Amino acid sequence: MKPKKSAIDLKGYALRQSMLLSEKTLAKRAKTNNFITDIANVCLFLVRVIKETFTPNHEIREFFNQCFQIGNKSLALVTVTGTIMGLVLTIQSRPVLANFGAESMLPGMVAVSLIREMGPVITGLICAGKIASGMGAELGSMKVTEQIEAMEVSSTNPMKFLVVTRVWAATLMIPLLILYADGLGILGSWVGANLKGEVSFTLFFSQAFSHISFVDLLPAVVKSFFFGGVIGLVGCYKGYNAGRGTESVGIAANSAVVIASLLVLIVDLIAVQITDMI
């Protein structure tokens, strides 16, 4: 027979269990507090960016430099992504439409799908991985090497020079990259349509654009600006508030990609709901 546990052992076991539960509770509270604190810090960071935007002495040269950097460094990736989007969508959709005898609807279907949803979202996710990580790593390394503190000592406003220029450059350039990807997607769709048939360039594009209306284009363009603002804000926030160790640079870049991608999907969900109510 197994020996019975004494009252002292039972009390010790109960005490240890209560201590474990209290530690788990404290850990959950700490995570919740950190989450709420991060949200509050992001809101304060956004308010500061808006405030610095409307103060004089704008960094126009740095703004155009960031526009060039964001657009130039992402152009090749967006070119390949946009072309493949249209090509794959056409190859996958053509057999289904052929079963219903609706192959003539292929250009319009691809154009509407790319402009309304696939183009902005996929290009936004690609830019989140490329641009947000770059901003997080760049500003994070400046934070680790104390370059930001050096700018403050030299009477240079790092928030205006480093953050505001990048946020607004991303807000401006990402919608342009999305429109560029949409155009390449329709071009890739024409290439895909000619793989198993022969469709003239003029006929394909006339059919594609005949199905696109202002209602399709406007919501896509508006939410593209929000995509750019979210990507720029998250990348700059994570890099600007990175820790002191070299490991924090990688953490800032990684978390910037994850959070920016998630926020792009959330903004898209909200935009779709608003568009559906109109």
Q: What is the pLDDT of residue 19?
A: 62
Rounded to whole angstroms, the Cα distance separating 186 from 182 reads 6
Provide the pLDDT confidence category of residue 108 given band limits of 50, 70 and 90.
confident
Q: What is the pLDDT of residue 225?
A: 94
Q: Is the pLDDT of residue 1 over 50?
A: no
pLDDT digits (tens, 9 = 90+) for 41-60: 888 888 888 888 888 888 88
Q: What is the pLDDT of residue 12?
A: 60
Full-model pTM:
0.84
pLDDT digits (tens, 9 = 90+) for 141-152: 888 888 888 887
Q: Is the pLDDT of residue 264 over 90?
A: yes
Q: What is the pLDDT of residue 178?
A: 94
Length of the chain, please? 278
Instruction: Tell me the residue type at 40.
Output: A
Q: Is the pLDDT of residue 208 over 90?
A: no
Percent of the chain with pLDDT over 70: 87
For 247, left (φ over 0), alpha (ψ -120 to 50), or beta? alpha
Q: What is the pLDDT of residue 185?
A: 92
Question: Closest Cα partner for 57 from 157, 148, 151, 170?
Answer: 157
Q: What is the pLDDT of residue 45?
A: 87
